[in-house]
Amino acid sequence: MTIIGGNVLKKTPLNEVHRELGGRMVEFGGWEMPVQYRGVIEEHLAVRGAAGLFDVSHMGEIEIRGPGALEFVQQVTVNNASKLKKGQVQYSAMCYPHGGVVDDLTVYRFDEDHFLLCVNASNTDKVFAWLEEVFEEDGSADLTLRNVSDEYAQFALQGPASETILSRLTDLELGRIPSFHFYEALVAETPVIVSRTGYTGEDGFELYFAPADAEKVWNMLMDAGSEDGLIPAGLGARDTLRLEMGYPLYGHELSRDISPLEAGLGWITRLEEKDFIGRDALLRQKQEGLKQQLIGLTLTEAGVPRAGYAIYSGKIKIGEVTSGTMSPSLRVGIAMALIDPEHGAVGSPLQVQIRNRMAGALVVKPPFFRR
């Protein structure tokens, strides 16, 4: 194990491969992960124009099985999991009773009574403990809850060339997998869960399989994609890609102190369709009006907005940047920010304090990047 800052970091099965590829390793969510290989911008643009391969084995997986599984998933998540058919995936969030977010996640339905939750690496232990707490409090639910994170490696193959590349390694008819659906199939001679999902805004697949197969799957994918411009991509590009799409990242746009409604996730929060933990608090928030709101900002002058920078409307401080970057696709500064909703109308001119100057910005509705 490598020790950075006194913490023992977990390693994915690809750790040595990342180093051989020149990956710059950093701490992320308790894991040692490659932030970049040849450069964030090059990797970002490869995903937008061709394809990138990300090792995201740090992500956590939690399995819920049994006759009470659906009811339990419904209780702990804000989206309506009863709408999921077998082989479908759903983006969702988990709330505390006060409406703050435990984590955002994807919910996979394998069967009537069999679900898999894919959760953020840094939240895996917290989420699992929270689910156990809810499960034990209820006492009557007939289900098993397992943290199966160690049983899965995960890669994200993302970009317009993804389908072409993946089709070379599987008999699965990829053209028949719609977005947010998954199949279990042989890919690169390996049993893989093939999910048409991602965190980049591009077409692509998230692949789950046994950690022992990670190196083989990685190498076969890289070989299959080299002629199409596939390159390894790190967490730096993953962050700029998701930010251009306005996708939230836990710890920035979502937290215990930020509700899904405040974070712009009203579209997955099914207040009218079902009961769930946090619903009462969210209904109250909706009724009383939100105290903070997540918005998109595009800088109208040079500069790079970053997390923590203050947002002003004239002389009044109205909020803070939650994530910001120089958009590699648009070549302007973009940010998401939590502000007083009074100032959040699209088109409003605001200012971002960058060191000792005020940079002009406009409120925009993400995604920042559109094809």
Partner 1 sequence: MEFPEELKYTEEHEWVLVEDDVATIGISDFAQDALGDVVFVELPEVGTVLDAGKTFGVVESVKAVSDIYAPISGEVIEINEELPDTPELINTSPYEDGWMVKIRMSNPAEAEDLMDAEAYQEFIEGEE
Per CB under 8 A, 124 contacts partner 1: no
Choosing from 328, 329, 343, 344, the residue that interacts with partner 1 (CB under 8 A) is 328
In the complex, minimum distance from the CB of residue 326 to partner 1, in angstroms, rounded to a whole number? 4
In the complex, minimum distance from the CB of residue 362 to partner 1, in angstroms, rounded to a whole number? 19
Region near partner 1 per CB under 8 A, out of 46-54, 64-72, 288-296, 302-310: 302-310
For residues 39 and 229, which CB has a smaller minimum distance to partner 1 in the complex? 39
Per CB under 8 A, 304 contacts partner 1: yes
Cα–Cα distance between 80 and 93 in angstroms, integer? 11
For residues 140 and 356, which CB has a smaller minimum distance to partner 1 in the complex? 356
> Cβ contacts of residue 232 below 8 Å, gap of 6+?
18, 21, 23, 34, 37, 43, 52, 53, 54, 55, 222
In the complex, minimum distance from the CB of residue 305 to partner 1, in angstroms, rounded to a whole number? 11
* Lookup result for tokens 């990242």: 249
Region near partner 1 per CB under 8 A, out of 135-143, 166-174, 199-207, 324-332: 324-332
> Cβ contacts of residue 340 below 8 Å, gap of 6+?
291, 292, 293, 318, 319
Give the three-class secondary structure for 153: strand
DSSP labels for 186-250?
Answer: EETTEEEEEE---SSSSSEEEEEE-GGGHHHHHHHHHHHHGGGTEEE--HHHHHHHHHHHT---B
Region near partner 1 per CB under 8 A, out of 34-42, 124-132, 344-352, 360-368: 34-42
Choosing from 21, 27, 35, 183, the residue that interacts with partner 1 (CB under 8 A) is 35
Region near partner 1 per CB under 8 A, out of 256-264, 288-296, 299-307, 341-349: 299-307
Cβ-based neighbour number of residue 249 at 10 Å: 18
Cα 14 versus chain centre, distance: 20
Per CB under 8 A, 326 contacts partner 1: yes
Choosing from 13, 21, 30, 39, the residue that interacts with partner 1 (CB under 8 A) is 39
Per-residue x/- track, 330-359, partner 1 (CB under 8 A) = -------------------------x----
DSSP labels for 107-150?
Answer: EEEEETTEEEEEE-GGGHHHHHHHHHHHHHHH-----EEEE-GG
Choosing from 12, 25, 31, 36, the residue that interacts with partner 1 (CB under 8 A) is 36
Choosing from 23, 225, 303, 366, the residue that interacts with partner 1 (CB under 8 A) is 303
Choosing from 302, 316, 330, 346, the residue that interacts with partner 1 (CB under 8 A) is 302
Per CB under 8 A, 34 contacts partner 1: no
Per-residue x/- track, 216-245, partner 1 (CB under 8 A) = --------------------x---x-----
* Lookup result for tokens 């394998």: 110
In the complex, minimum distance from the CB of residue 304 to partner 1, in angstroms, rounded to a whole number? 5
Per CB under 8 A, 9 contacts partner 1: no
Choosing from 290, 306, 310, 340, the residue that interacts with partner 1 (CB under 8 A) is 306
Count of residues in contact with partner 1, rule CB under 8 A = 17
Cα–Cα distance between 47 and 137 in angstroms, integer? 45
> Cβ contacts of residue 357 below 8 Å, gap of 6+?
none
Cα–Cα distance between 351 and 316 in angstroms, integer? 10
In the complex, minimum distance from the CB of residue 50 to partner 1, in angstroms, rounded to a whole number? 18
Region near partner 1 per CB under 8 A, out of 82-90, 162-170, 215-223, 322-330: 322-330
Parallel, antiparallel, or unpaired for β 7-8 and 24-28?
Answer: unpaired
Tell me the CA distances in angstroms from 371 to 48, 244, 246, 329, 368, one per residue in order.
9, 11, 14, 10, 10
Backbone φ and ψ of 135, nearest 5°? -60, -45
The CA R_g of the chain, rounded to the nearest whole Å, is 21
In the complex, minimum distance from the CB of residue 245 to partner 1, in angstroms, rounded to a whole number? 16
Binding-site ranges for partner 1 (CB under 8 A): 24, 35-36, 39-42, 236, 240, 302-304, 306, 325-326, 328, 355
